[in-house]
Amino acid sequence: MTKFANILETVGNTPVVKIGKLAPPNVNLYVKIEAFNPLGSVKDRLALGIIEDAERRGALKPGQTVVEATSGNTGIGLAMVCAQRGYPLVVTMAESFSIERRKLMRFLGAKVVLTPAAEGATGMVRKTIALAKKNGWFYTRQFENEANAEYHSRTTAREIIADFAGERLDYWVTGFGTGGTLKGVGRVLAKERPEVKVVVSEPADAPMLTSATPQERESDGSPKSRHPAWKPHPIQGWSPDFIAKLTGDAVDMGIVDQVITIPGPVAMQWSRQLAMNEGIFVGTSSGATFAAALEVCKGAPKGTTILCMLPDTGERYLSTPLFGDILAEMNADELAISSMA
C-alpha cells in the first residue's frame, strides 16, 4: 500500500534487514529498523496506541491538552499524533537530553518544559503529574499505560511473527525505556514462539535489572526517588532513573531470559560501525542493542537466528557525544584530497 489517508497510517510495518559485514559468518543476524516509522523511532507506535486507546475510552476529550514526560522520542511521536488529531501537547524533558529533540517537538507544535538535569527522569515525571492535576490535562503515562504494551502486541509482535513464519528464530534482543516493546512483544513470543529467548540490554552505568533492587514508588505509581543502581549514562531513551511499571511487569512475567549490560562507548562504537559498514543510520540505543546481539552471537551454534531491535535514527544525536569527533569543517584527509585538484 502506498496511498494513505493520513500520516498516522504509516506507523509500523518497519523492515527487517539482514546484517552482512558485521555479523559472524555462522549466524543469521537481523535488525528491525524502527527509524522507518514516520517520525523516526519506535516511540511513534506507543504514541499512536495510547492516544487511540484514550479516544476509544473517552478519557481524552476533543481539544484537551495532552501532557507527558519524555527523553524525546515519545514526545516527538506524540507531537506528530497530536498535530494530526488536533490536541495541544505539553512535554516535560530533563535539560540533559539532546537539543534536536526539543527543536523537533517545538517544530511540530508542542510546548517543551525543561526540568533540571540533576532531577533526572523522576523530576520530569513529577512535573508532569503536577501539571496534569492542576490543569486537567490528559497524562499519557507512557511508563505504565497498558495501551503502550498492547499496541506492540498488536503491531510489532505480529510483524515479527509474520516475518519469521515457518523460519527459525532463536533470540530476540531489545533494550528498554518504558518497557512497552519488551512486554508487548515478549508476551506474544512467549505464547506463540516459546523457543525464542528474550535478551534485554541495559546500560553498564545503570544496571537496574541486573541489580534486582526493588523500586520504591509513591501511591500514584510514580517513582519515589532515583533507583539506587542508576547512574548517568549516554544511552538516551534507555533506562530512565527508575524501572518503569511495564518493564517490571515483563520481568515478573518471566519472559526475560538474559540481561546484558553495555558500556556507553561500546554503544556509540557500534552505532558508528552500523553506519560505516552496513549503511544503517541509527542512534546510540540502537548501537547498544546491536552490541548485545553481538554478545549473543559469541558461542551461538551454527545457523542460529537472532533479531535485534534498532529503536531510532541517528539524526537525534547530532549534538551528543555520538557525533563528537565528526567535524563540520574539512578534516586533514579531506584537505589533502582538496589540494589534489
Identity of residue 158: R
Q: Are 8 and 48 a contacting pair, CB within 8 Å?
A: yes
**Phi, psi dihedral angles at 139 (to 5 degrees):** -90, 120
| CA pair distance 212, 142, nearest whole angstrom | 22
At residue 124's C-alpha, the angle toward residues 121 and 128, to 5°, is 135
**Planar angle of CA 325, 327, 328, nearest 5 degrees:** 155
Are the C-beta atoms of 79 and 104 separated by less than 8 Å? yes
**Residue 296 near residue 306, CB atoms below 8 Å:** yes
> Which residue's C-alpha cell is 503502550?
148
Q: Are 74 and 110 in contact (CB under 8 A)?
A: no
Cα separation, 50 vs 207, in Å, equals 28
What would the DSSP string read from start to end of 287-306? HHHHHHHHHHHTTPPTT-EE
Residue numbers annotated as active site: 43, 285
